[in-house]
């Protein structure tokens, strides 16, 4: 039950409910637990109907870049 999933915010209504897209599936989640303002295009983690936090996009991109470097250097090593 703790499997929270990353989703993209595509709409926010007046009652602090957001519509999010989770790889093609749309659902409604409450933003009541969000400490900072959420805008359309943000990535959030959702858990049992609530957004829990925002995903730091820059940080995620940095990790992905690091992984790319790791397998590039490995390939060069095995070359």
Q: Which residues of 32-57 are buried (b: 16+ CB within 10 A; e: fewer)?
A: eebeeebeeebbbebbeeebebbeee
State the Cα–Cα distance between residues 64 and 61, nearest whole angstrom: 5
**Residue 64 in the binding site for another protein (CB under 8 A):** yes
Q: Which of 11, 13, 26, 33 binds another protein (CB under 8 A)?
A: 33
19 part of the interface to another protein, by CB under 8 A: no
Question: What residue ranges bind another protein (CB under 8 A)?
Answer: 1-4, 6-8, 21-23, 30, 32-35, 43, 45, 47-50, 52-53, 55-57, 59-61, 63-64, 67, 70-71, 74
């Amino acid at each position: 039950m703790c499997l929270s999933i990353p989703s993209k915010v595509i709409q926010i209504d007046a009652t602090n409910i957001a519509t999010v897209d989770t790889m093609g599936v749309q659902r409604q989640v409450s933003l009541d637990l969000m400490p900072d303002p959420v805008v359309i295009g943000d990535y959030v983690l959702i858990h049992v109907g609530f957004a829990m936090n925002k995903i730091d996009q820059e940080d995620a991109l940095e990790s992905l870049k690091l992984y790319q470097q790791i397998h590039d250097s490995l390939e060069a090593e095995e070359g």
